[in-house]
Amino acid sequence: MIGLSRTIMSAHPGLIGWLDGAGLEAAPIEAAAARAFPAIVAPTEAHAAREGDVIVASGAPSFVRESGQPARLSFGAADQAFGYALAAELVRPAARPAAADPASARLLGLARRIAASDASVLVLGETGTGKEGLARFIHASSPRANGGFIAVNCAALPETMLEAILFGHRRGSFTGAMSEGEGLFRAAAGGTLLLDEVAELPLALQAKLLRTLQEKEVLPVGATRAEPVDVRVIACANRDLAAEVAEGRFRADLYWRLNVVPLHLAPLRSRRRDIPAIAAALMLRHTDPAEAFPFPTAQAVEALCAHDWPGNARELDNVLLRALLLRTGTRLQASDLAIEAAPVVEAETATSLEEAAKAAEARIIRAALAATGGHRLRAAEKLGISERTLRYRLAEMRAAAA
């Protein structure tokens, strides 16, 4: 629940529509009334505002936040799009992903209803669309919220250790197993386990995962008796799992077991109203509360909303962080946004033959992926390596770029 003073509702009727479109429940309040939720009030009601509230004024764009005090936000008609997004972000429940598009609000409403059950959930969407954030929201909205949330990227795990990492192992069950390993399923007991990039699991391990989901028990490596486990599984994939099943790379029975409740996260280009909301969340994350907030101009917000964001929220994050670091003015200008191509600092030469080889390898891998439309199996065949090796190389490239 978010409270709106009657003065604010009269001065900013558009804010009501923004919050409604974002799926944030708002209700009129008297500023001085007792309440257990944040509120947005006018400057004349500042005496009744407290920490967690937002005081919204009309005027030159500015934003001030101090520990233990209500936030102070000011903007005019030209900057309403970002002003409303920032106001909503400041009172948004912490576990709820930043969103303002009505389609995203409906998806979050569906996710909240799903959270009440223990059904397996399959979250599908392009890389960078916020699948893990949606999984965390489901966990936080569920009866398991007080339990742990463990996320694992299946593509980043070494194949030889996958089984032991997921299901645990007994001491001496393999070379180097000097002690018992709990495994992620048992570590997440009572909570939620997120299997990101689940399509990257090898077929042999998919069979064991299927049995774990069906029987609600795990068999650690080297054990002779299965152990019961109480965990909810959420799986994520950026590839079409139905197509993977058709190609024989993903088990059909596991697909149907995971696909009890499918949630499809649309790419950012299909939900442009989310862009100012996500941008506001990212700017709050990347700016120091003690420094002046670089309120973006209307032209900068328009430029952000006009871009297609092939890298989705991850690309948006990179562009905003770069702009915040390199800007020269007090406000974030459209000219500060290196959207079309990121500025690259050229090195004179590689510092070693090993680095030169890795850079060349990365260029060849990117070219193969581009030539195959991002299809990893065909790219691996083109490169003359296994798909698993390609996944390792991509994980190394991501780690090097981080």
Residue 358 confidence (pLDDT) above 80: no
Predicted local confidence at residue 86, as pLDDT: 96
Predicted local confidence at residue 339, as pLDDT: 85
Which of 106-110, 113-117, 379-383 is the least confident region?
379-383
Residue 344 confidence (pLDDT) above 50: no
Contacts of 268 (CB under 8 A, 6+ apart): 128, 129, 274, 275, 278, 309, 312, 313, 316
Q: Each residue of 158-183: pLDDT tens digit? A: 777 788 888 886 775 666 666 777 78
Predicted local confidence at residue 173, as pLDDT: 62
Predicted local confidence at residue 357, as pLDDT: 73
> Which residues on adjacent β-strands are paired with residue 125?
265
The mean of the pLDDT values for the chain is: 88
Q: Each residue of 259-287: pLDDT tens digit? A: 998 999 999 999 999 999 999 999 999 99
Residue 349 confidence (pLDDT) above 80: no
Distance between CA atoms of residues 163 and 169, nearest Å: 8
Q: Each residue of 117-152: pLDDT tens digit? A: 998 999 999 999 999 999 999 999 999 999 999 999
**Higher pLDDT, residue 206 or 182:** 206
Predicted local confidence at residue 170, as pLDDT: 72
Predicted local confidence at residue 380, as pLDDT: 80
Residue range 366-374: mean pLDDT, rounded: 74
358 and 394 in contact (C-beta within 8 Å)? no
228 and 219 in contact (C-beta within 8 Å)? no
- Per-residue pLDDT band at 343 (split at 50, 70, 90): very low
Distance between CA atoms of residues 315 and 269, nearest Å: 12
366 and 373 in contact (C-beta within 8 Å)? no
> Which residues on adjacent β-strands are paired with residue 73?
56, 63
173: tokens are: 């069950």
Predicted local confidence at residue 60, as pLDDT: 95
Predicted local confidence at residue 224, as pLDDT: 77
101 and 21 in contact (C-beta within 8 Å)? yes
Residue range 339-368: mean pLDDT, rounded: 66
Residue 342 confidence (pLDDT) above 60: no
Which of 246-250, 300-304, 396-400 is the least confident region?
396-400
Q: Each residue of 222-234: pLDDT tens digit? A: 777 888 999 999 9
Q: What angle do CA 133, 158, 169 make, to 5 degrees?
A: 95
How many percent of the chain have pLDDT more than 90? 60
Predicted local confidence at residue 63, as pLDDT: 95
How many percent of the chain have pLDDT more than 70? 93
Residue 301 confidence (pLDDT) above 50: yes
Predicted local confidence at residue 360, as pLDDT: 77
Predicted local confidence at residue 190, as pLDDT: 94
